[in-house]
A and B are shown apart, each in its own frame.
Chain A
């Protein structure tokens, strides 16, 4: 194992796995130790890891990643409906279909780079979203969303003679995937996804992607055809998104078109930037932070705030409650937007760069050499 992975990588991977697997324990004091939220953490973590392969490593800012997420969800639900309620075939199909979808879209979009690439992906994602809402209603069930019903054919389940009582839910080898089982199922995929991303980042292929980011033209002059590499990164990233979408369908078998809207794509960008683009762990942390605060802040209301600020004098407390209530509950997106703007302005490397800077400050005090934070440059 040691000649296969460097010691540093292995430590990172094992540490990451431990953190993920122990989440139900160490997140419980923060009020986030319940399976629903933890499943979301895993799913959006996978999505962010995949997005980072494209944006962080290769430098292409896609504004249409939610399309692959949506395609993955729809494929998974169709697999539940037509074939079997088992989760594994659904995930495989979702990864394949979203990969093919990414191959087509990536083939077209990667002809351009920089801002044009962003707009092209945005255009394709909006097209998929609009079509999912209108013409493709037979496939997507439009606004209602695609859901499982008792009368679904489920050919494979029929053959193997499995029957269900009540509302059908996805299973794994006959085992229901609710609660913490579902969490560990998703956690397995996040760890696998992380491992794979780590392998990519350290491989010659990953090196190639990095050099596309830093100077694509020079690569071409040196005689490399960069497009197949960028396309592979796009497809891998799309498959990650499809897998995440399928997992979301596993934990909650209802696929709606709003998952494909461009605001959903924007959210992935936010997560990646917030955590730290270009780092392995950063995007996952970004996804966790956003999902955590989405859950916590949007659940707060005036009563809770009033109790929180009750140590202040009455008049002051009322004002403070009024002001802070604008930033929580429904208004938590405002907080998110503000934090995001501040991060982009002052800390372009996100949370990870913040951690690094703090570490560097401690080092300097001890007399060590400060390591310079590297700023990321996207492909233009």
Chain B
């Protein structure tokens, strides 16, 4: 029985990690700029499609005809070789194999640029407008981003292979000194969880231990005073928006091998992430992370057959149910500060 519970716990981690990452970005934007960003899911989706694009470029092939070899149909064999492999040799092969992790390096600057452009271009004009207007404009932006991707990549999901070395399952039970082959867990999910941990840790460290982060935190607490002290808080907040976009994008990049991305993957995650943010408490970063993992794990337990036998359909609604209960009982969420968006 312990094994079953432990396994479900592990299963919840990777989804929880994705929720936590998206909710973290949402909260960063809300906490700094006070904007409810419905386009955040689109940023997740754009990150995922950065990975798709990188792989497209990496796998561009040259076709050479090798007359010395024959294909099974008696024609001269067409040898297809990725260009990078032709240029860089074995290293190119490694690049193709590890296209998803490699995409991270490319996704960071791209997402940062997209985020900053979005904030400076459009969202900047909405700080003084009501929250409903912010929701509407970001919702519109999300539709636009989604449709642009759809018109480029088509409506079907595009599977991304994970690196061959990381395809197996890790025998976590054996690591912990239990019987072998009882608790196994796909390596990539483990990596996703660790990756999320690193990103979350990095964001918190950045806010906690750098001067920049200190100023941002001060600005979150009292924007006016900080700007009176002669600090250009708006510029820093813009960069924080970029950072939030990067976090969402990276979450998307690494999630591609687990779930083939299509154009509406972002929207699917966004609805859940909002719920996560609300459960964690609007504006609370630790709350967002905690609630992300909590809900991921809860969902995993709710999809156990034993649980479903007692309450049918619970796996479909558990997250929303928790959100409803939290909102009605404790509107500022698990770790929300008193008075922030509490009404």
Contacts of A344 in B (CB 8 A): 133, 136-137, 140
| Minimal Cβ-Cβ distance residue in A for B36 | A115
Task: Compute how far the CA of A326 lies from the CA of B148 in the bound complex, rounded to whole angstroms.
Answer: 9
Task: Compute how far the CA of A111 lies from the CA of B328 in the bound complex, rounded to whole angstroms.
Answer: 7
Q: Smallest CB–CB gap between A132 and chain B, Å? A: 10
Contacts of A113 in B (CB 8 A): 343
Which residues of A110-126 are within 8 A (CB) of B?
A: 111-116, 118-120, 122-124, 126
Contact in complex: B143, A337 (CB < 8 Å)? yes
Cβ contacts A to B, 12 pairs, < 8 Å: A61-B132, A111-B328, A119-B275, A119-B327, A122-B271, A131-B313, A263-B267, A331-B150, A334-B150, A334-B151, A341-B137, A341-B141
Q: Give 1 or 0 for each of A344-361: 1 = CB within 8 Å of chain B CB.
A: 110010000000000000
Contact in complex: B324, A108 (CB < 8 Å)? yes
Q: Smallest CB–CB gap between A166 and chain B, Å? A: 35
Task: Compute how far the CA of A338 lies from the CA of B139 in the bound complex, rounded to whole angstroms.
Answer: 11
Query: A108-B328, A124-B320 known; A115 and B131 CB under 8 Å?
Result: yes
Contacts of B316 in A (CB 8 A): 127, 130-131, 133-135
Instruction: Tell me, yes or no, whether B230 is within 8 Å of chain A by CB.
Output: no
Which residues of B168-221 are within 8 A (CB) of A?
A: none
Task: Compute how far the CA of A348 lies from the CA of B137 in the bound complex, rounded to whole angstroms.
Answer: 10
| Minimal Cβ-Cβ distance residue in A for B148 | A334
| Minimal Cβ-Cβ distance residue in A for B278 | A119
Q: Smallest CB–CB gap between A283 and chain B, Å? A: 14
Q: Smallest CB–CB gap between B173 and chain A, Å? A: 32
Q: Smallest CB–CB gap between A338 and chain B, Å? A: 6
Instruction: Tell me, yes or no, whether B147 is within 8 Å of chain A by CB.
Output: yes
Q: Smallest CB–CB gap between A267 and chain B, Å? A: 10
Contact in complex: A336, B143 (CB < 8 Å)? yes
Query: A340-B143, A378-B131 known; A135 and B313 CB under 8 Å?
Result: yes
Contact in complex: B139, A266 (CB < 8 Å)? yes
Which residues of B79-138 are within 8 A (CB) of A?
A: 122, 125, 129-133, 135-137
Please provide the 7 A-B residue pairs with the shortest distance between their CB atoms, ordered closest to farther.
Answer: A135-B313, A337-B143, A334-B147, A130-B316, A341-B140, A337-B144, A123-B320
Instruction: Tell me, yes or no, whether B5 is within 8 Å of chain A by CB.
Output: no
| Minimal Cβ-Cβ distance residue in B for A331 | B151
Contact in complex: A333, B141 (CB < 8 Å)? no
Instruction: Tell me, yes or no, whether A262 is within 8 Å of chain B by CB.
Output: yes
Q: Which residues of A contact B (CB under 8 A)?
A: 61, 108, 111-116, 118-120, 122-124, 126-127, 130-131, 133-136, 262-263, 266, 269, 273, 326, 330-331, 333-334, 336-338, 340-341, 344-345, 348, 377-378, 380
Question: Which of A112, A262, A341 has the largest number of chain B CB atoms within 10 A?
Answer: A341
Contacts of A340 in B (CB 8 A): 136, 140, 143
DSSP majority for the B interface? helix
Task: Compute how far the CA of A263 lies from the CA of B150 in the bound complex, rounded to whole angstroms.
Answer: 16
Task: Compute how far the CA of A236 lies from the CA of B133 in the bound complex, rounded to whole angstroms.
Answer: 24
Contacts of B296 in A (CB 8 A): none
Contacts of A136 in B (CB 8 A): 313
| Minimal Cβ-Cβ distance residue in A for B323 | A123
Question: Which of A123, A131, A378 has the largest number of chain B CB atoms within 10 A?
Answer: A123
Contact in complex: B151, A269 (CB < 8 Å)? no
Task: Compute how far the CA of A122 lies from the CA of B343 in the bound complex, rounded to whole angstroms.
Answer: 18
| Minimal Cβ-Cβ distance residue in B for A59 | B132
DSSP majority for the A interface? helix
Contacts of B137 in A (CB 8 A): 341, 344-345
Instruction: Tell me, yes or no, whether B317 is within 8 Å of chain A by CB.
Output: yes
Q: Smallest CB–CB gap between A140 and chain B, Å? A: 12
Task: Compute how far the CA of A176 lies from the CA of B320 in the bound complex, rounded to whole angstroms.
Answer: 42
Q: Which residues of B contact A (CB under 8 A)?
A: 36, 122, 125, 129-133, 135-137, 139-141, 143-144, 146-148, 150-151, 155, 267, 271, 274-275, 278, 282, 312-313, 316-317, 320-321, 323-324, 327-328, 331, 341, 343
Contact in complex: A118, B151 (CB < 8 Å)? no
Q: Smallest CB–CB gap between A83 and chain B, Å? A: 28
Q: Smallest CB–CB gap between B326 and chain A, Å? A: 10
| Minimal Cβ-Cβ distance residue in A for B324 | A123
| Minimal Cβ-Cβ distance residue in B for A341 | B140
| Minimal Cβ-Cβ distance residue in B for A60 | B132
Beyond the given pairs A114-B131, A263-B267, A345-B122, 20 more chain A to chain B contacts, judged by CB atoms under 8 angstroms and listed by A's residue number, are A111-B328, A116-B327, A120-B327, A122-B271, A127-B320, A130-B316, A130-B320, A131-B317, A134-B313, A330-B150, A331-B150, A333-B146, A333-B150, A334-B144, A334-B147, A336-B143, A341-B137, A344-B133, A378-B132, A380-B130
Query: A336-B143, A341-B141, A378-B132 known; A123 and B343 CB under 8 Å?
Result: no
Question: Which of B132, B140, B282 has the largest number of chain A CB atoms within 10 A?
Answer: B132
Contact of B151 among A112, A273, A326, A336 (CB under 8 A): A326
Contact in complex: B323, A119 (CB < 8 Å)? yes
Question: Which of B141, B317, B323, B331 has the largest number of chain A CB atoms within 10 A?
Answer: B317
Contacts of B131 in A (CB 8 A): 114-115, 378, 380
Contact in complex: B136, A269 (CB < 8 Å)? yes
Contact of B341 among A108, A115, A124, A338 (CB under 8 A): A115
Q: Smallest CB–CB gap between B145 and chain A, Å? A: 8
Query: A334-B144, A380-B343 known; A122 and B317 CB under 8 Å?
Result: no
Contact of A116 among B139, B321, B341 (CB under 8 A): B341
Contact in complex: B343, A112 (CB < 8 Å)? yes
Task: Compute how far the CA of A133 lies from the CA of B316 in the bound complex, rounded to whole angstroms.
Answer: 9
Contacts of B150 in A (CB 8 A): 330-331, 333-334
Question: Which of B125, B274, B312, B320 has the largest number of chain A CB atoms within 10 A?
Answer: B320
Contact in complex: A115, B122 (CB < 8 Å)? no
Task: Compute how far the CA of A151 lies from the CA of B208 in the bound complex, rounded to whole angstroms.
Answer: 68
Contact of A378 among B130, B144, B327 (CB under 8 A): B130
